[in-house]
């Protein structure tokens, strides 16, 4: 029941996290599962897109040179020899004096080098739009062109979107919906993405019962398990296991030592009391690199390695648990999955409305509201008051060398939600 | 093959979307599936949290009045009568001259009204931390207290986090990880959340083949299907069906009319050509409210209703498809799921580095890069160039009444990704 001998600085703990948490290896993922994942290898185009010249307008494919001088009062007649539709191209060759009806996206027939838009053409004296859909043009059908054109006009050239051999997307990129579209456009149906870190959540505390369970006197409903699971998923991790572990040394040791995860997160029993088993287990079975951090809340936080896993010991107090997760465990998970270690919270600069108090020598995680554009600390905000994080709009970090912020100063505020 | 008679204004189309797309009804969701969902009903606490007074420190539970005058040179002796651990409370009553060893979070025993921290106490002359864990205190054990305290000190009061009857979370709130923790803390294991809109994706185009399929001459790999599926998921919708439909009127009609979705999205064949079947099908089977919009790209966009579903007809050109989705279909899906209709893209204000050109009378969706903090339009950015949306960092919207933005001016830029 004594205190910590010495507390690590937040910066030291972050450096340790960054040294441990490197991007994991790659794995194949179907395109449909790849949104938001991080690319593990450059994507290089294997084909041109499109793979052929195509019409960029509905109209008529012709040899541009034959339209010279065409105008509303000087129509030039072409012989309609066929039709090119997307997926159903005209297979022949466009010869002198010939035109092919063509739809947007359809292959430009051989011989032709331009598309005259439909509004500058009329078939056999009747407007083109009067024809029945897909009617076979009779060999006698004439198209009168009423505007001159030039080679390449209204033609989408082969490779105009993608040239084979181009690097389309670089390793490390977080995949957008349109990135998946571009990958699909070059015929790719799987991408090599950074593997998602597998995480084991261990919630300790004999007083804790699962929400939905019958109430019992002097028991507490566990809030950290569901909160941590949602945070891990937000940060790109997979909750491989989630266990409620009894407050016994043997049970906690066994749960920490189970193999096959990248990260172990233990909630509760992270301090220095007689019932705080986890730190000494990590020290005995692996390395307890950091224990006790100069911050508030979350000071009784530990981290180390056991076997192949990075282990985070988070305080059981729910606000401390959230804060320590966000500072350290979440950063590790984001980095292992190939993302930036930075917080996923939007940040804004805003004026301080009411004094934010801290103490020299520790980093403070202050829950604040944004009222009329001004940042105000919550009046009730102990480490055990989880509702402080639901009433708050976000938080302000006060560095160790600062005593806080006076009204009128400007601070960076992290928003729990995207601004409206 | 004629053009649109008249184009709707973007604002008119948005108004139509907002009138159609209301928040759907509620459904129960387990807490573990509720992160990011939108609450459909207020959450009111059924219990206090905590439900009992508890220790906020490791130490000794005593009657505060009996510590008056205690100090390092004036220790006051108490008789240790038991121990209170989280989940294993001391069942007795603390009488005059008695103390109970207590761990953080453990119930404060009856009779006691304060906790003296462990560092101001020593058992039987030896420091408390030297004892074996959970050792039964002998009746003869004495605790010497070396600091006075006052009633309520280091005690977390019943209800300090939540008082029964309090509204914890309001309907309409998008659920944060810590919100789930707060719900759990009051014993709730399910929440009433807004139902996710069910979406049918129909991709038309006989020239389209699925990525991964063998290449064939004059075919195009479909990029819109996978892109739209990722966009719908991003916006909270469920892709209930995703079909590739042949360019035949009957096939498209049958696919649109299938029941049991909230939204139908058709990609391709949305314009006014002979092969553009979808608009007339929607007009015949329901209501085609908007067809043709004064914007670039995406001008050949339509929307209407068929049966119980809102139908969006998006152009097949992939950039037009993305843009029209984001302006209209995505807005509907977000609103139906209870979210804000606003774009989910972060926005910044930045200086224009190179001229952004538009035309009076239409809204422009300009893909731009952010270079040294300045906004520059992409030089290659046709509606068919999907890579313009992967090379771009985001986009700028030029309103219909503007001819664009000159260098040096400031614009709002929407970022495809969160800023680093």
Per-position DSSP letters for A270-305, written without gaps between them = -SSSTT--HHHHHHHHSEEEEE-BSEES--S-EEEE
* Tokens of residue B320, six digits: 């037009």
B100-117 in b/e form (b: 16+ CB < 10 A) is bbbbbbbbbbebbbbbbb
pLDDT of residue A132 exceeding 70 = no
Structure ipTM over 0.85, yes or no: yes
A129 falls in which pLDDT band (50, 70, 90)?
very low
Q: Do B223 and A185 touch (CB under 8 A)?
A: yes
Q: Do A273 and B58 touch (CB under 8 A)?
A: yes
Q: Could you give the C-alpha distances from B112 to B48, B87, B94, B101, B129, in angstroms and in order?
A: 21, 18, 6, 11, 22
B358 falls in which pLDDT band (50, 70, 90)?
very high
pLDDT tens digits, residue range B32-61? 999 999 999 999 999 999 999 999 999 999
Residue of B241, B270, B387, B415 to mutate, testing the A interface (most A Cβ within 10 Å of its Cβ): B387
| Per-residue pLDDT, B359 | 92
For chain A positions 238-267, those within 8 Å of chain B (CB to CB) are 247
pTM for the structure as a whole: 0.93
Q: Are β-strands A208-209 and A220-221 bridged in parallel, bridged antiparallel, or unpaired?
A: parallel
pLDDT tens digits, residue range B57-95? 999 999 999 999 999 999 999 999 999 998 899 999 999
pLDDT tens digits, residue range B167-209? 999 999 999 999 999 999 999 999 999 999 999 999 999 889 9
| Per-residue pLDDT, B273 | 81
Tell me the average pLDDT across B137-151. 86
| Per-residue pLDDT, A128 | 45
Mean of all residue pLDDT scores within chain B? 93
| Per-residue pLDDT, A159 | 96
Whether A160 and A5 have beta carbons less than 8 Å apart is answered as: no
Q: Do A32 and B229 touch (CB under 8 A)?
A: yes
Query: Radius of gyration (Cα) for chain A, nearest Å?
Result: 33
pLDDT of residue B312 exceeding 80 = yes
pLDDT of residue B276 exceeding 70 = yes
Tell me the average pLDDT across B391-405. 96
CA distance B75 to B54: 25
CA distance B390 to A191: 16
Closest Cβ–Cβ partner in A181, A206, A274 for B88: A206
pLDDT tens digits, residue range A324-349? 999 999 999 999 999 999 999 999 99
pLDDT tens digits, residue range B212-241? 887 778 889 999 999 999 999 999 999 999
pLDDT of residue B254 exceeding 70 = yes
Tell me the average pLDDT across A271-284. 92
Q: Do A129 and B274 touch (CB under 8 A)?
A: yes
| Per-residue pLDDT, B3 | 67
Residues present in chain B in total: 420
Q: Does A189 touch chain B (CB under 8 A)?
A: yes
| Secondary structure (DSSP) of A187-249 | T--EEEEEPPPEEEEEEE-TTEE-TTSPP-TT-EE--HHHHHHHHHHHTT-EEEEEEEE-S-H
Strand order in the sheet with A238-245: A238-245, A198-204, A263-267, A309-314, A302-306, A287-291
- β strands within B268-308, DSSP E: 287-291, 295-296, 302-306
CA distance B390 to A181: 9
CA distance A125 to A118: 13
Whether B95 and B146 have beta carbons less than 8 Å apart is answered as: no
Tell me the average pLDDT across B275-287. 95
Residue A33: closest C-alpha in chain B: B230
pLDDT of residue B348 exceeding 70 = yes
A131 falls in which pLDDT band (50, 70, 90)?
very low
Tell me the average pLDDT across A79-103. 95
A218 falls in which pLDDT band (50, 70, 90)?
confident
Tell me the average pLDDT across A56-66. 95
Which residues of chain B have a CB within 8 Å of the CB of A5?
A: none
CA distance A311 to A251: 16
pLDDT tens digits, residue range A397-419? 999 999 999 999 999 999 999 87
pLDDT of residue A126 exceeding 80 = no
Q: Do B234 and A177 touch (CB under 8 A)?
A: yes
CA distance B121 to B144: 5
CA distance A284 to A200: 20
CA distance B103 to B118: 10
Identify the H or E element spanning B418. Answer: none
Whether A84 and A207 have beta carbons less than 8 Å apart is answered as: no
Q: Do A390 and B316 touch (CB under 8 A)?
A: no
Tell me the average pLDDT across A63-84. 96
Closest Cβ–Cβ partner in A89, A177, A218 for B230: A177
pLDDT tens digits, residue range A280-309? 999 999 999 999 999 999 999 999 999 999
pLDDT of residue B136 exceeding 70 = no
A379 falls in which pLDDT band (50, 70, 90)?
confident
Which residues of chain B have a CB within 8 Å of the CB of A127?
A: 2
pLDDT of residue A121 exceeding 80 = yes
CA distance A290 to B53: 32
Q: Are β-strands A190-194 and A155-156 bridged in parallel, bridged antiparallel, or unpaired?
A: unpaired
What are phi and psi for residue B297, nearest 5 degrees?
A: -75, -165
Q: Does A177 touch chain B (CB under 8 A)?
A: yes
Whether A282 and A288 have beta carbons less than 8 Å apart is answered as: yes
């Amino acid at each position: 029941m004594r205190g910590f001998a010495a507390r690590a600085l937040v910066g030291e703990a972050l450096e340790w996290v960054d040294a441990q948490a490197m991007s994991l290896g790659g794995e194949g993922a179907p395109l449909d599962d790849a949104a938001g994942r991080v690319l593990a290898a450059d994507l290089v185009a294997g084909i041109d897109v499109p793979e052929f010249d195509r019409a960029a307008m509905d109209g008529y494919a012709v040899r541009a040179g034959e339209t010279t001088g065409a105008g509303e009062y000087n129509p030039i007649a072409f012989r309609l020899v066929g039709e090119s539709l997307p997926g159903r191209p005209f297979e022949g060759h466009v010869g002198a004096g010939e035109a092919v009806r063509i739809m947007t996206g359809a292959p430009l027939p051989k011989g032709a080098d331009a598309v005259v838009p439909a509004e500058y053409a009329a078939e056999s004296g009747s407007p083109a739009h009067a024809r029945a859909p897909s009617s076979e043009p009779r060999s006698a059908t004439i198209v009168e062109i009423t505007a001159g054109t030039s080679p390449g006009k209204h033609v989408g050239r082969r490779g105009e979107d993608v040239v084979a051999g181009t690097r389309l997307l670089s390793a490390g990129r977080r995949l957008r919906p349109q990135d998946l579209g571009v990958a699909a456009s070059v015929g790719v149906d799987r991408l090599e993405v950074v593997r998602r870190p597998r995480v084991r959540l261990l919630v300790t505390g004999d007083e804790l019962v699962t929400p939905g369970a019958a109430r019992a006197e002097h028991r507490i409903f566990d809030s950290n398990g569901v909160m941590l699971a949602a945070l891990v998923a937000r940060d790109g991790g997979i909750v491989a296991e989630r266990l409620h572990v009894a407050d016994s040394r043997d049970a906690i040791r066994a749960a920490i030592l189970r193999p096959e995860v990248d990260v172990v997160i233990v909630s509760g029993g992270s301090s220095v009391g007689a019932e705080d088993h986890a730190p000494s287990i990590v020290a005995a079975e692996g390395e307890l690199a950091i224990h006790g951090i100069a911050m508030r809340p979350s000071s009784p936080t530990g981290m180390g390695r056991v076997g192949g896993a990075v282990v985070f010991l988070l305080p059981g107090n729910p606000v401390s648990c959230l804060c320590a997760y966000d500072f350290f465990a979440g950063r590790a998970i984001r980095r292992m999955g190939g993302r930036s270690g930075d917080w996923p919270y939007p940040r804004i600069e805003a004026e301080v409305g009411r004094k934010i108090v801290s103490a020299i020598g520790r980093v403070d995680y202050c829950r604040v509201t944004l009222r009329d554009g001004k940042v105000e600390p919550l009046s009730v905000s102990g480490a055990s008051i989880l509702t402080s994080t639901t009433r708050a709009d976000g938080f302000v970090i006060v560095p160790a060398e600062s005593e806080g912020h006076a009204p009128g100063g400007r601070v960076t505020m992290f928003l729990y939600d995207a601004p409206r």
